[in-house]
Amino acid sequence: MPEIQDIGTKEDQVGMVQSIVRNVTCEVRDAIHAYYGRHNYEPTFMDDWGVQILLDLTITEKSGASPSAIWAPPPSPAVLFTLAGGLSASSEALRTDKLHSFYTVKEILAMNPCGTSRDGGFMLMERDLKLTDWLFDAAAVQYTRQADFNRSGLPPDVLFHEVKFNVETTGNLTPAFKLSLVNVNDSGVFFSTSRNRSHDLQITLGPTDQGGKGKSKSKPRPSIAAADVALAGAIGRAVGESVRSALRN
């Protein structure tokens, strides 16, 4: 099975996953604090909201071999004859890892923003995944009354932000040599390999169901509308990945 990291040891893989999760969490923390900081931490429509985070890491590795040979007898004025043959084989391994987490906005506000402590890096470890921009864009919609995130009842409004990264690397090797009557790998590709990294981050912000009351009160959980949007995003991601995999094959 393919490793999550391109090169390195198991310890490097653990460190990479931790870095990705930390950076994604920091993206949410920084975005929420930036929005509330703009409003001097006064009450906003997100006070009783929650944040669902779905992290999807997909790695596909494919390799193939296609040796070929052409046999030609000594030249003859009466007969011109050659014999070509080949063999092909391929294998593919697909690994998908998912991580789902949920925080209330109040829990996020109780954490400090990460700010400049974020290391930054490649793909999902970039320093800015644009969630802050989307929150301020949504706030502008709220202020112009094109949407009302403060309304009660069903269905409540939900915000959804998705970031995708797709990187593919390929390589091939074709050694060729000639014997007295046989040309080996005279054309085509002898060995090829590819590695595709398709990473996806989905962040859903929406109202929460506060659970019961008194002793039976449980931790807030995503409302039905917020959970439905998150599920729709996950299904869309799975369908899209299946289509891309079919097209690659």
pLDDT digit string, tens, across residues 182-233: 777 666 677 888 888 888 999 999 888 865 454 445 678 888 888 888 888 8
Residue 185 contacts residue 174 (beta carbons within 8 Å): yes
Check residues 56 and 139 and name the one with the higher pLDDT.
Answer: 56
Please report, for residues 2, 63, 91, 187, the alpha-carbon distance to residue 193 in angstroms, rounded to integers and kept in the order given. Answer: 12, 4, 10, 18
d(CA 50, CA 15): 28
Residue 125 contacts residue 119 (beta carbons within 8 Å): yes
Q: Residue 53: pLDDT band by 50, 70, 90 thresholds?
A: very high
Asked if the model's pLDDT at residue 181 lies above 80, the reply is no
3-state SS, one letter per residue, for the chain: CCCCCCCCCHHHHHHHHHHHHHHHHHHHHHHHHHHHHHCCCCCCCCCCEEEEEEEEEEEEEEEEECCEEEECCCCCCCCCCCEEEECCEEEEEEEEEEEEEEEEHHHHHHCCCCHHHCCCCCHHHCCCCCHHHHHHHHHHHHHCCCCCCCCCCCCCCCEEEEEEEEEEEEEEECCCEECCCEEECCCCCCEEEEEEEEEEEEEEEEEEECCCCHHHCCCCEECHHHHHHHHHHHHHHHHHHHHHHHHHC
Check residues 71 and 62 and name the one with the higher pLDDT.
Answer: 62
Task: Give phi and psi for 96, each to the nearest 5.
Answer: -130, 125
pLDDT at 227: 85
pLDDT at 7: 75
> Cis before residue 155, ω within 30 degrees of 0?
yes
Asked if the model's pLDDT at residue 155 lies above 80, the reply is no
CA angle 86, 87, 88 (to 5 degrees): 130
Question: In terms of Cα–Cα distance, which of 19, 53, 214, 216 is closest to 125?
Answer: 19
Question: Of all helices (H) and strands (E), which one includes residue 107?
Answer: helix 105-110
pLDDT at 37: 92
Asked if the model's pLDDT at residue 84 lies above 90, the reply is no
Instruction: Tell me the percentage of the chain whose pLDDT exceeds 70.
Output: 85
Q: What is the mean pLDDT of the chain?
A: 81
**What is the reported pTM?**
0.77
Reduced to 3 states (helix: H, G, I; strand: E, B; else coil), residue 247 is helix
Check residues 203 and 116 and name the one with the higher pLDDT.
Answer: 203
Work out the average pLDDT over 10-19. Answer: 82
Q: Residue 3: pLDDT band by 50, 70, 90 thresholds?
A: confident
Q: Residue 77: pLDDT band by 50, 70, 90 thresholds?
A: low
d(CA 105, CA 111): 10
